[in-house]
Each structure stands twice: as structure tokens, then as C-alpha cells.
Amino acid sequence: MDLGLHDQNLLITGASGMLGAAAARALAAEGARLALLARDPAKVEPLAAELRTLGAPQVAVVRGDLAQATSTDAAVAQAVDALGQLDGLVAAAGAAQGGVFWEIDDEAWQRHLEAKLFGTIRVLRAVAPRLIAQRSGRIVLIVGNSAKYPEPRMLPGAVANSGLLAIVRGLAEELGPHGVAINALNPGPVRSARWDRQMRDIAARDGVTPAQAEAGFLAKAALRRMATPEEVAAHVAFLVSPRAAHMTGTSVTIDGGTVKTP
């Protein structure tokens, strides 16, 4: 199926990260024109070159730190200048760590929420009025299944994700009359250095091996395995494509059947 992404202008945050990079590759292969927002442009330049070879007609890299509103606004403006207009946003930046609830202090909570929840709020605030003005656009937030299935050792991420799902639901009402859609994608765990670190931490606390800690998580998934970044990216590509035009204010969970509600 042609997703209709050819020559669509898309902004991606978090492209230096695992899922953002995978999404960028999938979108480049569909012929989308891309702007990558990164704190350190040098970090994503090799990816930008790869995306051009994969089929992206244009790839711009814009410097932006989602921890600061002025930097975020400037980066979004730069992306619009580079691409001409924006047809969509894929927000894949930020990640929260875990821990035992009563050992996570205020400063750590603030850091976790800042990275994902507030960073995403800032980029939405910068992008939404532009999409409203042109009366079209699609937004996809990579959120996570922990909003619907909060693991006790990963509550900061779950809280950030719950907040983002509330924003998706509410903002859809605001954006819909202007032809703009917003949805979330909720992956379960995907193997990464961060995941491996979390498993080591949990294993050390629980007196088991990291493999046993991981098996405990995977036992909750009907498919008994993690998703690959490419599987997550395929869903991003669909959700940000014109093929998903009539879908808004909701989320798709891709977690191998961990969240059991339909």
C-alpha cells in the first residue's frame, strides 16, 4: 500500500535515539521530506546522509533543545523555513528512567517528567498553531504502553505517558475542526542500552539475573518477545500518513499483547 507520504514534510524529534532514527528511516523510504530536530546536529548528520540514500528528497537538520521553549520555537521555525511547510510531526524525544517509587526524589521526578512530558508539550505548542493555520497536518507521539500498564518500577515514565495520552485526547478536540489530527503510539519495551540497564538494576535489587528479570516482563506479553524498532517505525509511518486521516485523539498499542484491553 502506498502510504501517500511522498513529498510530505515531516518534523521528527529524537532522531538521534533508537525509535526516532527507525521512524526517520521508514519515512525516508516512503519518500518523505524530513527535518530532524536535535540538540547536537553533529549527532544526526550521519543519519541525515543515510536518509537521503534511502529516498528522502530533502533532509534538514535543525538544532533545538526541547528543555527550552525559545530553542524549541526557533527549531520549529527553522524546520518550516527549510521544508516550506510542515505536514506532520513525529515526537520521539525523551525517555524516563525507573526506580523504586519511594527512592525517587523530587529532583529525579522533575528530570524524568521534563525530558518527555514537558519537552513534548513545548514542541506541540510550537507546531500546533502552524498546522491549524494551514488547516491540515498529522501529529504522532511515541508514548509507551506504561500509560495503560504502569510497571511499579517505571512509574515516572508511566506518569509522563499518561499525561501525554490526556493531551492527545484533549488536543484532538481542539485541532480536529481545523483538519489536524493527533494520535499516540504505545510501544512496549524495545531492546536498547537503557532497557538492558533497567533490567540489570531490577535484577540486582531482586537477586535474579538480568535475563530472569527480562523474562518476567516478557511473560506478560502474549507474543513473549519485544518489538523491533522497525516494527514500531512501521506504525509511526502509517499514523503520520494521509492513510490515517480519519483517526484522531486515540492511541495504538504495539506491545506484543501486554495491555490486554482491546
Ligand X SMILES: NC(=O)c1ccc[n+]([C@@H]2O[C@H](COP(=O)([O-])OP(=O)(O)OC[C@H]3O[C@@H](n4cnc5c(N)ncnc54)[C@H](OP(=O)(O)O)[C@@H]3O)[C@@H](O)[C@H]2O)c1
Q: Are 134 and 181 in contact (CB under 8 A)?
A: no
Q: Which stretch binds ligand X (CB under 6 A): 10-18, 28-36, 55-63, 76-84?
A: 10-18
Biggest CA–CA distance in the chain, Å, is 56
Using rule CB under 6 A, residue 164 touches ligand X = no
Using rule CB under 6 A, residue 115 touches ligand X = yes
Q: Are 140 and 185 in contact (CB under 8 A)?
A: yes
Using rule CB under 6 A, residue 11 touches ligand X = no
Using rule CB under 6 A, residue 95 touches ligand X = yes
Q: Is the dihedral of CA 21, 236, 70, 158 positive or negative?
A: negative
Using rule CB under 6 A, residue 118 touches ligand X = no
Burial of 208 (0-12, 13-18, 19+ CB in 10 A): middle
Which position's Cβ is nearest ligand X? Answer: 17
Among 4, 63, 104, 195, binds ligand X (CB under 6 A): 195
Nearer to ligand X (CB atom), residue 4 or residue 210 = 210
The CA distance from 75 to 123, in Å, is: 9
To ligand X, the closest distance from the beta carbon of 111 in angstroms equals: 10
Rounded to 5 degrees, what are φ and ψ at 185? -115, 130
To ligand X, the closest distance from the beta carbon of 69 in angstroms equals: 11
Q: Which three cell numbers stand for residue 173?
A: 478536540
Q: Which residues bind ligand X (CB under 6 A)?
A: 13-14, 16-20, 38-40, 43, 65-67, 92-95, 115-116, 119, 142, 144, 157, 187, 189-190, 192, 194-195
